[in-house]
Structure 1
Amino acid sequence: MKIFFIFVFIIILYQCIHLTRSAELKEKSVKLSYLELVKERRSINEKKLAPFNDIVGMASSNVIAYSNGNDTYYSNEDNYLYGIYMGLKWQCVEYARRWTFLRKSSTFESIPGANDMWNQLKYVERIIDAEKFPLKKHSNGCPNRPINESYLIYPIQKDMPYGHVAVIVDVLPNSIRIAEQNFNFNYWSYNYSREIPVTFKNDLYFIQDQYEVYGWIEIDDNQQLMPFDPLTVDKIQMKLNENLDLNSSA
């Protein structure tokens, strides 16, 4: 009789273990299926080209990136925010200036092309009081680690007739993440457009992009520049009106 009960107990125990393992395997299978689905959707999303004016992504909490359609299209349309000139829709320099406006409440002077930022830009100017904050250049292959919230500048080269500018929005141990316009025309899967490897060799840091990189330009503001506050719009408008009055009287 005891043997019979032991036998029944073993059978019940085996069935419980089997059911538990089956449930675990099923749960793992569901998780894997979900992850594969997410990966597949991201892959499709990344391959899909966005038409001109479509939002492709957003970085730094609130800086939207738009598609230029392709890298040869020139819209001839100016973009303004609160009366401040941002640039031509949807060029890379427009994104860099709009990022500067929204994240640093500042802007920078007009330049012929992204390539010229490396040698021509010396400062950004805070909108509210016109105070200037210097820019510091760090050549690719320098002893300083890439700095978050810097401009990444590319020279004129094949596929880049005016150079290119992106914004570094995250610095990881072995890579940087950037946000940009008019480079790729896919919808972003994350809050950045690309992740680029960074190597450290002979005490120097190198951004290993597929294209040549001048380096990165740091905004030397000592953390004084804050994100744009919509409450300052009236002050900006007053400043613009003052400038218009001065121009009229001249």
Structure 2
Amino acid sequence: MRPVKKTNHAKTPLYLLILLIFLLSLFFIPNIPSNPFSKALGTPIDSLNGVKVYYNGSIKNVAGRSLGPGQNNFGLKYQCVEFVKRYYYEHLHHKMPDTYGHAKDFFIPNLADGALNSQRALTQHHNPSQFQPQVNDLLVYSPTLFNPYGHVAIVAEVQANTIEIIQQNPGRWGRSRQRYQLSQENGRWLIHKKRILGWLRKKK
């Protein structure tokens, strides 16, 4: 009888660990210019109402500070915050009183649904809210293990049961557009994405 060849399973976790480290590095290391799969930082990849979304590669990349007219601080290029503040300024002609802070700082947890967020001069709505999301609303996402700063995006389209968002800096291979389910339950509108804390809106 031929001897049974033993398989060394001890090496398997090591291979998985190496693979995991490699995959994570693709998202967090800076872009390598010689990498044929990388776009150049600052390459326009999308737009909404004439306001461009720029490619940023790894979510931690920073290419200087983005300043508008009168040294208005839009944020760090080409982070998610930079896009939403630039969008609100260029398309909605809205300048936020507080031009600093991470994405998560855009949402004040203890503020009532529909109350004024004085730091941004926008009304704030929780997810879920009695107020239905609208085009141009600014969505605020909670932090994650790999992104402690949170995330922000703009509502680009609202349908009966879905919304589409546009975002900057979703990651090296992330998409600038995503679609989420939307429903009304017990008189409150819910975006079916756990990370979404709520949305901000400019009063008409």
Report if TM-score (shorter chain) is over 0.5. yes
Structure 1: 5+ residue stretches without partners: 1-47, 125-133, 223-250
Q: Quote how far apart the aligned CAs of 1:212 are.
A: 1.3
Aligned amino acid, residue 108 of structure 2: N
Residue identity over aligned pairs, in percent, reads 23
Pair 1:219-2:190 in alignment: no
Structure with greater contact order relative to length (CA < 8 Å, sep ≥ 6): 1
Q: Number of matched residues?
A: 159
Pair 1:135-2:122 in alignment: yes
Sort the Cα spacing of 1:208 and 1:51 in 2 relative to 1 into closer, same or farther, 3 A.
farther
Partner of 2:3: none
Within 5 Å, give how 1:39-50 maps onto structure 2: 50=39
Alignment RMSD (CA, Å): 2.3
Q: Is the 8 A contact 1:50 1:186 kept in 2?
A: no
Partner of 1:91: 79
Within 5 Å, give how 1:1-250 maps onto structure 2: 50-60=39-49, 62-75=50-63, 77-83=64-70, 84-108=72-96, 109-119=98-108, 121-122=117-118, 124=120, 134-186=121-173, 193-209=177-193, 211-220=194-203, 222=204
TM-score (norm 1): 0.57
Structure 2: 5+ residue stretches without partners: 1-36, 110-116
Supply the distance in 1 between the matched residues of 2:43 and 2:55 (Cα, whole angstroms): 5
Sort the Cα spacing of 1:149 and 1:123 in 2 relative to 1 into closer, same or farther, 3 A.
farther
Per the alignment, in what secondary structure is the counterpart of residue 89 of structure 2? helix
Larger fraction in helix: 1
Post-superposition, which runs of at least 4 consecutive aligned residues in structure 1 deviate over 6 A? none
Q: Quote how far apart the aligned CAs of 1:51 are.
A: 3.7
Per the alignment, in what secondary structure is the counterpart of residue 104 of structure 1? coil
Give 1 or 2 for the bigger CA radius of gyration.
Answer: 1
Sort the Cα spacing of 1:200 and 1:59 in 2 relative to 1 into closer, same or farther, 3 A.
same
Sort the Cα spacing of 1:186 and 1:102 in 2 relative to 1 into closer, same or farther, 3 A.
farther
